[in-house]
C-alpha cells in the first residue's frame, strides 16, 4: 500500500510540476506581449507629439505666408498708385509738348516778329527728354507690378496648399492617392503600409481596402511615421469569405472609384 501511495504522490507532483512549467511559459509570453504593446504605445505617443509639432510649424508658416501676401498686396496698391501719378505727369508733359509745338509753328510763320527761338527749342528738347524718362519709369514700374502680381499668385498657391493640409489634418482625412498592404498581423487586427505622413497619411483617418474595384475591408490609421504607417482593421468590415492579402490596394475612404 505504501508503494501505491508513493507512486500516486509522484504522479501528482509530476503533474503539478508540468502545470507550473506551462503556467510560467504562458506568464512569460504574456509579459513579452505586454512589453511589445507598451513599446508600440510609446512610439504612438512620440509620433503624436511629432505631428503636433508639425501642425504648429505649419500654422506658423501659414501665418508668415499670410503676412507676406498682405505686404505684397500693399506694395501692389502703392505701385499702381505711383503708376497712376506717372501717367498723369506724362499726360501733362504731352500737353506741354503739343503746346510748344504749336508755338514753334506760329513762330516759324512770324519769325521776324517773334525773334530768337533758341530758348524755345531748348525747352522743347528738355520736354522731349522728360517724356522719354517718364515712359521709361512707367515701363519699369509696370514690370515691377507684373513681378508683384506673379509673386502674389505664387503666395496664394502656397496658402491654398497649407489650408488644404490643415483641413485634412483637422478632419482626419488622408490625402495620398493609393498604396498597397505591406504586411498583415491578423492576430492583432492590423496591417502595415509602406507610406507615412510625408506621403499624406493622417493618423486616425479611415481607409478602404479595394479589390477588383470593390471595397472588401475598412481600416483606420492607428500610428504614422515619415515613411510607414499602421492601420487597424475595422471590426466586421471585412467582406464575407474574404481574406486580406499583402499587396491589396489601399486608398483614403471615399477614393475607391478613383
The residue ranges of every structural domain in the chain are 68-170, 179-252
pLDDT of residue 9: 81
Q: Measured between alpha carbons, how far is 79 from 83 in angstroms, rounded to an integer?
A: 6
| pLDDT single digits (tens) 123-148 | 777 778 877 887 877 787 777 767 76
Query: pLDDT category, 175, cuts 50, 70, 90?
Result: very high
- For the segment 105-133, the average pLDDT, to the nearest whole number, is 69
User: What kind of fold does domain 68-170 have according to CATH?
Assistant: Helix Hairpins (1.10.287)
- For the segment 105-122, the average pLDDT, to the nearest whole number, is 63
Given a contact cutoff of 8 angstroms between Cβ atoms, the answer to whether 81 and 144 are in contact is no
Q: State residue 191 phi and psi, 5-degree precision.
A: -125, 165
Prediction pTM value: 0.42
The grid coordinates listed for 67 are 503676412
Say which DSSP state 76 is in: H
* pLDDT exceeds cutoff 70 at 26: yes
Question: Burial level of 230, CB count in 10 A (0-12/13-18/19+)?
Answer: buried
| pLDDT single digits (tens) 59-103 | 676 777 678 778 778 888 888 888 788 788 878 888 877 887 777
- For the segment 212-216, the average pLDDT, to the nearest whole number, is 93
Residue 215, SS3?
strand
- For the segment 152-180, the average pLDDT, to the nearest whole number, is 75
Give 196 or 108, the one with higher predicted confidence.
Answer: 196
Element (H, E) at 118: helix 118-170
pLDDT of residue 257: 44
Q: Measured between alpha carbons, how far is 175 from 163 in angstroms, rounded to an integer?
A: 13
Per-chain mean pLDDT for the chain: 80
pLDDT of residue 24: 78
Given a contact cutoff of 8 angstroms between Cβ atoms, the answer to whether 221 and 201 are in contact is yes
Angle at 47 between CA 46 and CA 53, to 5 degrees: 95
User: What kind of fold does domain 179-252 have according to CATH?
Assistant: Thrombin, subunit H (2.40.10)
**Residue 17 neighbours by CB distance under 10 Å:** 10
pLDDT of residue 157: 66
pLDDT of residue 78: 83
* pLDDT exceeds cutoff 50 at 114: no
Question: Burial level of 224, CB count in 10 A (0-12/13-18/19+)?
Answer: buried
Amino acid at each position: 500500500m505504501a508503494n501505491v501511495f508513493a507512486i500516486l504522490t509522484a504522479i501528482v507532483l509530476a503533474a503539478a510540476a508540468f502545470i507550473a512549467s506551462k503556467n510560467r511559459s504562458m506568464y512569460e509570453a504574456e509579459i513579452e506581449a505586454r512589453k511589445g504593446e507598451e513599446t508600440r504605445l510609446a512610439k504612438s505617443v512620440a509620433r503624436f507629439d511629432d505631428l503636433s509639432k508639425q501642425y504648429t510649424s505649419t500654422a506658423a508658416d501659414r501665418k508668415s505666408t499670410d503676412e507676406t501676401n498682405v505686404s505684397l498686396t500693399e506694395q501692389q496698391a502703392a505701385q499702381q498708385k505711383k503708376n497712376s501719378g506717372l501717367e498723369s505727369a506724362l499726360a501733362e508733359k504731352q500737353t506741354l509738348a503739343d503746346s510748344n509745338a504749336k508755338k514753334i509753328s506760329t513762330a516759324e510763320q512770324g519769325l521776324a516778329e517773334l525773334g530768337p527761338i533758341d530758348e524755345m527749342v531748348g525747352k522743347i528738347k528738355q520736354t522731349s527728354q522728360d517724356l522719354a524718362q517718364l515712359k521709361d519709369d512707367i515701363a519699369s514700374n509696370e514690370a515691377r507690378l507684373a513681378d508683384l502680381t506673379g509673386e502674389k499668385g505664387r503666395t496664394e498657391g502656397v496658402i491654398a496648399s497649407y489650408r488644404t493640409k490643415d483641413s485634412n489634418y483637422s478632419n482626419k482625412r488622408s490625402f495620398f492617392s493609393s498604396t498597397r498592404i505591406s504586411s498583415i498581423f491578423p492576430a492583432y487586427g492590423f496591417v502595415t503600409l509602406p507610406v507615412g505622413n510625408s506621403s499624406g497619411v493622417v493618423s486616425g483617418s479611415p481607409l478602404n481596402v479595394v479589390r477588383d474595384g470593390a471595397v472588401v475591408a475598412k481600416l483606420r490609421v492607428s500610428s504614422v511615421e515619415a515613411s510607414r504607417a499602421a492601420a487597424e482593421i475595422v471590426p466586421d468590415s471585412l467582406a464575407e469569405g474574404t481574406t486580406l492579402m499583402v499587396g491589396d490596394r489601399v486608398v483614403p475612404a471615399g477614393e475607391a472609384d478613383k
